[in-house]
């Protein structure tokens, strides 16, 4: 559509216009050295598949689909009467979207580096991002939605939801519906020989793994901009959230002790009905961040070597930034259409009557499986932990057939659908980690020469996971996460620079890469999950600069051993010292195994895309 093309052209024009008015600055002022640099970049991702994001209202898999509903109450509710049944056909009233783009943003970053003397220095980075919103957006008026909550109307790309009003979770951020301005870096350094003290807003990145985070546990992630689908070789440099902290390191010979204390900052998930939202928008999230926003995380790492073997030891005490989820009261007094006066009772349950909710048992079980939840036990928990639902004749069930009939009955009674309300809570945990590295010495030019091996493992006792039934009784289990990393530079020709290779293997005992408990794996529209034992992922990546360093080719692959594949070839072109163009294609296939709901790629398979970033550096 023309407005989409115009939005993209506007982004490129803005980048070009601004690039002519900025330049790098460096010099001295009042005895202080300074350097000012940055970039302006237009970023976009073009869809290469017809699928829409199924977690958004306009990508919902049941929009416009006729679904047969066979509603009935459990027989024990009316033991002396014939079981009442209602058979009908429901067509969810959501309006399907047909987007061309997943991502259309322009960003500007400016970094100021100051050196006051040989001991004191400072770094400040200012970042601004604008989303052109060149998408077919959700409009609540189109479906007569009255869903409560600040973020559950028209899409809001950056603001945080404290439910009633907008705001921010990041302390050094200012955000609106389609823009954000933040200060991801603002710290001062003091260095005196082996001692370095850094105080201010900063990232703390420990560990060696690409895609995987084992010891990199200090900071959460900001997934609002492009989820995890940027250049894979950049790791989590843009997603890792900075937090106010004091960090100190001290070098003693070959050993370094690195310690930190930081303010807690949670992972920020994409907002509902934005392009990369991964929490189904039929559910309202009530975040409890304000109950832990003044908490502190802390930790240390000791790193050094004994002979040819590198060693490291880590301990972190933190609040898990990802949080966990459970059913919570909706507090929404709105009657079910066929049950006048039911609003006050529904307000004491997790349910809210609204057209943007779930409409049928088919939709309920499909999305439960996609979220790695148990649809039957999720229903039973909603009834058991919220007794008010039983006054509406809801009753726990024992089978898929009973669950389907009861769910369809209440969706029919609602007249439009039920939204589910879920609380997000945070829990403290201790993480113990260790690792070793070794550099192989082989025949010069051989594959074993200068091959670097890294191994990292962490142990977290009593980690808290979201229960697959969304109960307030969370799953609590010990978890071990490990990663083996092999990396090497290998030269094949005197004409080309060396090629960088990396191979990785991660094993997790209790959760997948997205932190979902493995007991929720394997469900589908007709079956509850059986669960799996352990999660394994493999990564292969390479990077090949071309002569003159004008071009660089990248390749990254992530394979979930239960049948999910991400492949990302990329090409970087630097025609001059100022301009930089990056192009990459992200191929996703989550259907290579027995059940797509057993691997992580199925969750993001709809996001297959071609991406491009055009940057002017100064």
Question: Can you give the three-state secondary structure of 317-372, one letter per residue?
Answer: EEECCCCEEEECCCCCCCCECCECCCHHHHCCCCEEEEEEEECCHHHHHHHHHHCC
CB 296 within 8 Å of CB 430:
no
Quote the DSSP letter at residue 617.
E
Structure tokens at 553: 């080719």
Residue with tokens 């507090």: 331
Residue 142 has pLDDT above 50, yes or no: yes
Instruction: Collapse the DSSP code of 289 into the 3-class scheme (helix H, G, I; strand E, B; otherwise coil) and give the result.
Output: helix
Distance between CA atoms of residues 476 and 464, nearest Å: 5
Q: How does residue 284 score in pLDDT terms, banded at 50, 70 and 90?
A: very high
Residue 23 has pLDDT above 90, yes or no: no
- Outline where DSSP puts E strands in 495-608: 499-508, 535-545, 551-560, 564-573, 579-589
CB 475 within 8 Å of CB 467:
yes
Question: What does the pLDDT read at residue 165?
Answer: 75
Q: Taking the model in full, what pTM does it have?
A: 0.93
Question: What does the pLDDT read at residue 24?
Answer: 67
Q: How confident is the model over 230-253, as a mean pLDDT? A: 91
Of 535, 228, 589, 529, give the one whose Cα is nearest residue 370: 529
Q: How confident is the model over 417-441, as a mean pLDDT? A: 97
User: For residue 588, how far is the Cα from the chain centroid?
Assistant: 16
Question: What does the pLDDT read at residue 87?
Answer: 93
Q: How confident is the model over 117-134, as a mean pLDDT? A: 96
Structure tokens at 15: 């980048």
Residues pairing with 26 in the sheet: 35
445: left (phi over 0), alpha (psi -120 to 50) or beta: left
**Residues 456-487 pLDDT 10s:** 999 999 999 999 999 999 999 999 999 999 99
Q: How does residue 1 score in pLDDT terms, banded at 50, 70 and 90?
A: very low
What is the residue extent of each domain of the chain? 2-55+98-323+426-615, 57-96+327-423
Instruction: Collapse the DSSP code of 13 into the 3-class scheme (helix H, G, I; strand E, B; otherwise coil) and give the result.
Output: helix
Distance between CA atoms of residues 231 and 138, nearest Å: 28
**2-55+98-323+426-615 under CATH 2.40.160.10, yes or no:** yes
Question: What does the pLDDT read at residue 79?
Answer: 56
Q: How confident is the model over 500-517, as a mean pLDDT? A: 97
Instruction: Collapse the DSSP code of 467 into the 3-class scheme (helix H, G, I; strand E, B; otherwise coil) and give the result.
Output: coil
Task: Count CB-CB contacts under 10 A for residue 401.
Answer: 12
């Amino acid at each position: 559509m023309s407005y989409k093309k115009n939005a993209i052209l506007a982004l490129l024009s803005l980048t070009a216009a601004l690039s002519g008015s900025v330049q790098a600055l460096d010099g001295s002022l009042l005895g202080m050295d300074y350097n000012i640099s940055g970039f302006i970049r237009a970023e976009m991702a073009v869809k290469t598949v017809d699928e829409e994001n199924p977690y958004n209202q306009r990508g919902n898999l049941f929009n416009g689909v006729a679904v047969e509903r066979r509603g009935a109450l459990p027989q024990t509710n009316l033991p002396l009467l014939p079981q009442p049944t209602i058979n009908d056909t429901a067509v969810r009233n959501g309006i399907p979207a047909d987007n061309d783009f997943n991502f259309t943003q322009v960003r500007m970053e400016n970094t100021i580096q100051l050196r006051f003397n040989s001991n004191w220095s400072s770094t400040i980075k200012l970042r601004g991002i604008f989303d052109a919103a060149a998408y077919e957006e959700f409009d609540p008026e189109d479906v007569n939605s009255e869903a409560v909550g600040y973020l559950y109307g028209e899409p809001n790309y950056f603001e945080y939801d404290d439910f009633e009003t907008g705001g921010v979770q990041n302390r050094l951020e200012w955000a609106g519906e389609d823009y954000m301005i933040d200060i991801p870096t603002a710290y001062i350094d003091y260095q005196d020989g082996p001692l370095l003290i850094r105080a201010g807003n900063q990232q703390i990145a420990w560990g060696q793994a690409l895609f995987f985070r084992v010891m990199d546990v200090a900071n959460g992630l900001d997934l609002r901009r492009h989820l995890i689908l940027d250049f894979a070789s950049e790791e989590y440099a843009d997603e890792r959230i900075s937090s106010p902290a004091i960090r100190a390191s001290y070098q003693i010979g070959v050993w370094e002790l690195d310690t930190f204390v930081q303010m807690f900052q949670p992972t920020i998930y994409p907002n509902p009905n934005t392009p990369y939202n991964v929490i189904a928008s039929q559910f309202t999230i009530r975040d409890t961040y304000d109950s832990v926003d003044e908490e502190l995380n802390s930790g240390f790492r000791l790193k050094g070597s004994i002979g040819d073997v590198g060693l490291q030891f880590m301990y972190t005490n933190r609040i898990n930034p990802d949080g966990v989820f459970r059913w919570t009261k909706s507090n929404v007094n709105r009657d079910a259409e066929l049950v006048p006066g039911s609003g006050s009772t529904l307000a004491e349950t997790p349910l809210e009557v609204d057209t943007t909710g779930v409409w049928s048992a088919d939709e309920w079980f499909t999305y439960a499986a996609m979220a790695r939840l148990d649809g039957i036990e999720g229903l039973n928990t909603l009834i058991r932990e919220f007794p008010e639902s039983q006054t509406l004749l809801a009753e726990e069930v024992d089978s898929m057939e009973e669950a389907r009939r009861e769910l369809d009955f209440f969706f029919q009674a609602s007249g439009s659908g039920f939204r589910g309300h879920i609380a997000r809570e945070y829990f403290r945990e201790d993480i113990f980690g260790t690792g070793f590295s070794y550099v192989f010495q082989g025949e010069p030019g051989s594959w074993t020469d200068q091959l670097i091996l890294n191994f990292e493992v962490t142990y977290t006792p009593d980690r808290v996971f979201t229960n697959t039934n969304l109960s307030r009784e969370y799953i609590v289990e010990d978890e071990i996460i490990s990663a083996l990393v092999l990396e090497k530079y290998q030269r094949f020709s005197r004409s080309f620079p060396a090629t960088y290779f990396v191979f990785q293997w991660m094993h997790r005992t209790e959760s997948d890469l997205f932190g979902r408990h493995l007991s929720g794996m394997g469900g589908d529209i007709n079956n509850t999950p059986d669960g799996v034992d352990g999660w394994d992922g493999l990564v292969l990546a390479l990077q090949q600069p071309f002569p003159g360093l004008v071009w660089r080719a990248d390749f990254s692959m992530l394979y979930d051993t239960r049948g999910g594949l991400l492949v990302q070839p990329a090409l970087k072109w630097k025609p001059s010292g100022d301009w930089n163009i990056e192009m990459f294609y992200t191929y996703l296939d989550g259907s290579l195994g027995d059940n797509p709901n057993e691997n992580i790629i199925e969750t993001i398979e709809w996001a297959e895309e071609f991406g491009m970033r055009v940057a002017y550096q100064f």
